[in-house]
Amino acid sequence: MRDDENRCGKNPGMSSDLEIARNATLLPIAEIARRACIPEAALEPHGKYKAKVSLDFVRAQEGSKQGALVLVTGISPTPAGEGKTTTTVGLADALNAAGTRTIICLREPSLGPCFGVKGGATGGGHAQVAPMEEINLHFTGDFHAITSANNLLSAMVDNHLYWGNEVGLDPRRVSWRRALDMNDRALRQIVASLGGVGNGSPREEGFDITVASEVMAVFCLARDLADLQDRLGRMVVGARRDGSLVTARDIKADGAMAVLLRDALAPNLVQTLEGNPALVHGGPFANIAHGCNSLIATRLGLTLADLVVTEAGFGADLGAEKFCDIKARIGGLAPDVCVVVATVRALKMHGGVAKSALGTEDVAAVERGVVNLARHVENMRKFGVPVVVALNRFTSDTEAEIGAVRIAMERLGTEAVLCTHWSDGSAGAADLAQAVLARIGEGRFAPIYADELSLPEKIGVIARDIYRAGSVAIAHAAEVKLARIAKQGFGHLPVCIAKTQSSFSSDPTLMGAPEGHVLTVRDVRLAAGAGFVVAICGDIMTMPGLPRRPAAESITLDAEGMIQGLF
């Protein structure tokens, strides 16, 4: 029995997420567009229930009055599950039900997690975006376009080297990596161009998962097509012998890459199971990338609705910090309220309880584990944003355990709102919606560090103020790279920390709210096109591997050709 089969009143005999989604009656996408104030003429339909919104319409909305912005994030994730996407959808449905015109802005699921651990990423129960199967799999082809653009640049780099290397790129200093939207540890480090002179000169390289690629980051941070091509052109592919940088523009690849991404850059419009509009577009990971949906979709939503509910990936120390310090800084955004999602079950795991024992009441474990939630709440307040806690209920939760969470949050001056949107849809998030509306207008948002700080200082601020590290240990090679990056004129950029999602530290075994630990930075990468510098910490990999029992083992087609196993 899956974990969420105990959630929100669900019993073992009840429907799965896939069954609930498949049995829902969806509205024609033109009707969803009408509800979002998007004319049908601005739609480029992809079937009956999903469409792209034309970039001409997006451009026409620039300068329009903007609504409020709610950022949904969570505690440090555990195998028990927290439900950020489910809460995002349930909250938006509840806000619409209360008469507040609301649009959801979410990331697109990656095939890697769908076939690896998650099995799907469109919410759950009666709080989902749909069509669930299509969104979780190929959707409108955006990720395929991003993967193709990334690998076109790889092909053009190798081709440039083969045909005389006019720009003087040092083959030993090629830093550009290929991409694939699948977990495949065997491709992390490879040797390319074997087989003789006709195949080029052999060299080491590797693959990143598409959602960790710089092309994905550029795609999600570009304001329009012109900005997209400019950012693509600025991406660094390597260096010459003298250390000067070679870019995609030097290789003359930026134009063709932009062509591959032109149609994908238009935001995708879908719906919730309750018929409310959702823009699902872009999808960088939050542990190894910046973890937020596309800037184009978020800005469009803000011009069309009174309120936009968006989600940042993994815990607030990752996705939410990057939303505030990277996406908001680059895009001129300011979240009005932050919702931190937690579950009693996950807090018990942070308190030291094994997953197999989560069904047994353990108030002491909740009290030990709630420090993780408290830390995330405290951190988000440092950005000047008011915080509401959404306690996503499971049927195994007891009143005493729920009470322990509420008491801990009351001590922080924060409201913990019990939610049952998984089973009850919008009605189960009505109290959360009212709590969010009550906090709009209270905040004064600001990033936690200034552009003028040095790159090591920016890493230090995040390590100290967000992770509560006692110190930062930057490997000598990474120190040299940071100094070189600053000398090359990129010292003003924000930093994107790539680290484990399981802990505030770079050690995934340190659960709860560790303090005084050492954040280890083993490498750094310049993402000049995206506009940030990546600090790679601990053992984090930019190409994940599949787990021992990947979700793909349970995903199949039945006798009627229907998909089974997505959840």
Query: CA-CA distance, 397 to 374, in Å (whole number)?
Result: 19
Q: Which residues, in sequence order, are CB contacts of 366 under 8 Å at separation 6+?
A: 344, 347, 348, 351, 401, 404, 405
Q: Which of 107, 177, 345, 368 is catalytic?
A: 107
- Helices H / strands E in the chain, number of each: 20, 25
Out of 118, 322, 458, 481, which one is annotated catalytic? 118
The Cα–Cα gap between 234 and 220 comes to 15
From 143, 219, 383, 394, active-site residue: 394
Please tell me which residue in 73, 85, 86, 310 is annotated as part of the active site: 86
| Catalytic member of 207, 314, 383, 504 | 314
Selected catalytic residue, list 84, 231, 327, 458? 84
Cα→Cα distances 329→235, 399, 532, Å: 20, 41, 11
Q: What share of the chain is helix, strand, coil (3-state, %, to 5)?
A: 40, 20, 40
DSSP string covering 179-214: EESS--GGGSSEEES-SSGGG---EEE-EEEGGGSH
Sheet holding 471-474, edge to edge: 471-474, 518-527, 532-537, 495-498
Catalytic residue among 422, 490, 532, 567: 422
Give me the residues paired with residue 422 across strands. Answer: none
Q: Which of 239, 258, 264, 286 is catalytic?
A: 286
Other beta carbons less than 10 A from residue 465's beta carbon: 15
Is 394 catalytic? The answer is yes
422 counts as catalytic: yes
| Rounded alpha-carbon distances, angstroms, from residue 6 to 80, 81, 342, 366, 567 | 11, 12, 16, 18, 14
Q: What are phi and psi of 240, to 5 degrees?
A: -85, 175
Active site includes 186?
no
Contacts for 196 with CB less than 8 Å, ≥ 6 apart? none
322 is an active site residue:
no
- Catalytic residue at 163? no
**What is the set of active-site residues?**
84, 86, 107, 118, 286, 314, 394, 422
